[in-house]
Each structure stands twice: as structure tokens, then as C-alpha cells.
Amino acid sequence: MTAVADADRATSPGLVPEDKKYDADVIVIGAGPSGSAAAYWLATAGLDVLLLEKTTFPREKVCGDGLTPRGTRALVDMGIDVSQEAGWLHNKGLRVIGGGLRLELDWPELASFPSYGLVRPRADLDHLLVQQAVKAGARLHEQTSVTGPVMNSQGRVEGVTAVSRHAEARTDKTEITYRAPLVLACDGVSGRFGLALGHQRNDKRPMGVAVRRYYNSPRTNDDYLESWLELWDGPPGADDAKLLPGYGWIFGMGDGTSNVGLGVLNSSAGFQKTNYRELLTRWLDHTPEEWGFREENAIGTTQGAGLPMGFNRTPHYQNGVLLVGDSGGSVNPFNGEGIPYAMESGKFAAEAVIQALARPAGPSRERALHGYPAAMAAEWGAYYRLGGVFVKLIGNPAVMRACTRHGLPHPRLMKFVLKLLANLSDPRDGDASDRIITALTRITPALK
């Protein structure tokens, strides 16, 4: 079935006549990593999926473009070719810089995850993911901006209103209605659909802001993702050098450019009180000139985005709507990584929906749908609670400086920290560090 025909639209926007048929089994709002992953898994199970995207592909998104092995696994699970021949730049670990020290940490060898990470521009990554969803059978409508929920007479969401310029919609800036028994809100950090339903962000949970810019740079080829735990306005160690808020990254893209950026957490005194673009320039102006991170080598402007962390928007399921990926605050508070968690939450949501739609509408279906927030809490709830404590601690520059100077000189400790921050461990078959991480999450109450 294509876009809803004029004669089959609801006569009253925002209210579904009970005798009208649905236009799809599931509507997915947003074709980023969470939406495309959810659409892929739903379509693979044979469900009719309508994937609504406000822009057209390929399109750019603000991101560091670097993936840990967790992201690699999520892509492999979806059947994406992540070989270097397919255009992916592989990395073997994380280089950590701070306290005057530099430490290279290889990704751990685990049964649960591959031992390499990836780098790929988000414009390419998102396009590959949505193509995979379409190949599986999802129906993609680009240039379709969702404007609000559609409710049935019992107050349950059973569709969306949208403004579409999709060819099959035969409309230009005219609001139309799409109907389905379930809606997945995968609309990113803005979470507009959830906001329209009254889902407010929990300000007590972590939130970050990140900015990044591309530069032509000889550092384009690098076997490691690089993380800066201290950012200095001035030569490090100089009497007049000032420690800036936040953390930074330098990711070589393998195409002659580097993605360079920084993030600031809401536990920092500088959060929302800082010009982040200026902050990035002040840091980069004191990096070695031969690296090329100067205005004359910049490509485009500095772009920024929010990082919704630690389940800072809930409930993840209510009245026919599932909040997925960034719209449900799924970013890892330990390291600011969002793509693998978006994709995994998309899979969790799809699994719940597949089970739900195999049951009749009513209590049995609702039990299956409530399995989605339960799966999210079981998988990351305790880990994200620990991450919230971590965010509060490192928001204090003195604590961050002490951790950097006393932790980096101990490689064995840092290997444990890498596993914890990147959420890479084998709960059943791992070593002592895996068992410690598992024990920590077991004794920590889970966020919901």
C-alpha cells in the first residue's frame, strides 16, 4: 500500500474513525540509525512498515563519525558490509590523551563483540542503513515531516499527521494522515513527537552538547580513535594556560580529512554558558600547526547537536507509541556514543512490536509492548545509572584532572576503564574485569 488516498483519509485531523483500515502495520518517524534499524527488523519479520523521513538521502548529521566495536556489531547484525573494501576505515582502539600522557588502548578481544571499530561519515552511514531497511521491505517516504499524533476515541495514538512532498502523496504542503496501530518515535534529540504527547525531558539525567568540524589534515589516516580528556586554552603546562570545560576527539576519516570536535556535559559549570564553536577554535589553535586544524583548512562550518543521555526521556512505551534511540535518551553517558544504542534500541522495539502484533488488540498485546521498556531497563538501566554518577564526577575539573593524572599511568586500570566506558564486556565468558563490570551493574538499581 502506498500513501493514503484522499478518499481514505480521516475526516477530522487528529481523530481516527474506528471503521477505517490502517495504512501500515507500523509507522516509524525518522530514518536515522534507530528508525532504519527498527524498520529493517520489522520488515524482515514481514510487517508492513511506513518509514517517514523529513529530509532526503544522503543527508548530513552532526556526529563524531567514529564507532566502537559495539557499533560494528550492530551494523554486522543488519547485514551491512563493513569491510575496508566497502569504504569503511577500521580502527583498532582508543588513544587517550591527558595529564601530559598519551596511552593507546586496543579494543578488547571478546566473544560478544568484534575487535575493531569503524569510521564513516554519517551522510554515508545513514544512507546505507535506510537502503538496508528498504531492501528488507520498508516503504520510505522522504520529504515527509510529521506534524503530530492522531488519536482514536480512547486516547490511543493510531497514526500521525504529516506534511509531505513525497511523489506518491500527490500533495504539496498539505497535511495528510497516515494510520497504523503502532508508532515508533525515532525523531532524534528534538523528540518533537514525544513532546507533543507530553513526554518532557528529565533534567536530572545526563545531557550533553557536542560540536564538530572537518579539516583537511595529514592526520587523516589513523589506526586509533583519539580522545582528549583535557582541553587547554594555551600550551599545556604553561603558566597562563586555562583548562577548558569538556572533552575532545580527533578522528581521521581516511579521505584526507579529520573530524575534530568536543563535548560538554550538563554537570559542567560551563554547560549552556559557553560558546561551543569558539571553545573548539580556542582548543585547536593550540594544537600543532602541522596537523592542519586551522581556519584555512576547515571544510564547512562548525555544527552542533545535543546528546540525550541516560534515558532522559521516558516512558519508552505508552498508548501505542515507542520512544526509540535519541528520542528516548539512549546515548551512553559514559562516552557520548549514540549510534549503536540507537540501532540496538530499534531492534528491541521491533522485537516487542513483532510479538505484540501477533496477538489480538488488548491486554495481551499491551504486555508484549511493555516488554520494550523492560528490555531497555534490563540491558542498560543499571549501566546508565552508573553513567549518571560518572557524569556528575567528571563535571568537576579537579576530579577529572585527578582521574587523568592518576589513572593514565596504569595501563591495566585503563584497559578496565575502556571496557566500562565503551560498554564492551562478556558477562558470562569474560575475564576478571568483565566480572567486575557485571557485578557493578547487578548491584546498581536500574533506571527506567
* Mean pLDDT lowest among 2-11, 334-343, 428-437: 2-11
Question: Do 414 and 422 touch, CB atoms closer than 8 A?
Answer: no
Q: Whose grid coordinates read 554519517?
A: 122
- CATH 3.50.50.60 domain position(s) in the chain: 6-60+124-203+310-383
Share of the chain above pLDDT 70, in %: 91
Q: pLDDT value at position 36?
A: 98
Q: 371 versus 286: which is more confidently predicted? A: 371
Q: pLDDT value at position 166?
A: 57
Query: What single-letter DSSP state applies at residue 107?
Result: P
* Paired sense of beta strands 49-52 and 139-141, if any: parallel
pLDDT band at 3 (very low <50, low <70, confident <90, very high): very low
pLDDT band at 6 (very low <50, low <70, confident <90, very high): very low
Q: pLDDT value at position 26?
A: 98
Q: pLDDT value at position 274?
A: 77
CA 182 to chain centre: 22
The count of residues in the chain is 448
Which spans in 223-314 are helix H?
A: 276-284
Q: pLDDT value at position 318?
A: 95
pLDDT at 429 > cutoff 90: no
- CATH 3.30.9.10 domain position(s) in the chain: 91-116+206-308
Terminal Cα distance for the chain, rounded: 37
Nearest to 297 by CA among 263, 262, 260, 254: 260
Whole-angstrom distance, CA of residue 158 vs CA of residue 170: 23
pLDDT at 375 > cutoff 80: yes
pLDDT at 10 > cutoff 50: no
Q: 6-60+124-203+310-383 adopts what CATH topology?
A: FAD/NAD(P)-binding domain (3.50.50)
* Paired sense of beta strands 242-244 and 231-233, if any: antiparallel
Q: pLDDT value at position 158?
A: 94
pLDDT at 49 > cutoff 70: yes
Does the CA dihedral 340-54-312-318 come out positive or negative?
negative
Q: Whose grid coordinates read 540501532?
A: 343
Q: pLDDT value at position 7?
A: 30
- Could you tell me the pTM of the whole model? 0.90
Q: pLDDT value at position 354?
A: 98
pLDDT band at 443 (very low <50, low <70, confident <90, very high): confident
Question: Do 175 and 191 touch, CB atoms closer than 8 A?
Answer: no
Q: pLDDT value at position 268?
A: 74
Q: pLDDT value at position 444?
A: 85
pLDDT at 238 > cutoff 70: no
Q: What is the DSSP string of 36-103?
A: HHHHHHHHHTT--EEEE-SS-SS-------EE-HHHHHHHHHTT---SGGGTPEEE-EEEEEETTEEE
Structure-block grid coordinates of residue 37: 534499524
Residue range 288-314, pLDDT digits in tens: 999 999 999 999 999 999 999 999 999
State how far the alpha carbon of 417 is from the alpha carbons of 91, 96, 114, 232, 390, in Å. Answer: 18, 11, 18, 23, 12
Whole-angstrom distance, CA of residue 183 vs CA of residue 177: 13
Whole-angstrom distance, CA of residue 108 vs CA of residue 414: 12
**Nearest-10 crossing angle of helices 339-357, 33-44:** 30
Q: 237: part of which helix (H) or strand (E)? A: none
Q: pLDDT value at position 289?
A: 95
CB neighbourhood size of 427 (10 A):
13
Q: 104: part of which helix (H) or strand (E)? A: strand 101-106
pLDDT at 13 > cutoff 50: no
- Is the domain spanning 91-116+206-308 CATH 3.30.9.10? The answer is yes
* Mean pLDDT lowest among 78-82, 87-91, 180-184, 421-425: 421-425
Mean pLDDT highest for which of 31-45, 267-281, 304-318, 399-413? Answer: 31-45
pLDDT band at 400 (very low <50, low <70, confident <90, very high): confident
Q: pLDDT value at position 168?
A: 55
List beta partners, residue 180: none
Q: pLDDT value at position 171?
A: 52
Q: pLDDT value at position 12?
A: 36
**Nearest-10 crossing angle of helices 382-394, 432-443:** 100
- pLDDT, mean over the chain: 88
Q: What is the DSSP string of 125-174?
A: HHHHHHHHHHHHT-EEE-SEEEEEEEE-TTS-EEEEEEEE--GGGT-SS-
Residue range 167-205, pLDDT digits in tens: 555 555 678 999 999 999 999 988 899 989 988 888 888
* For range 77-91, the mean pLDDT: 96
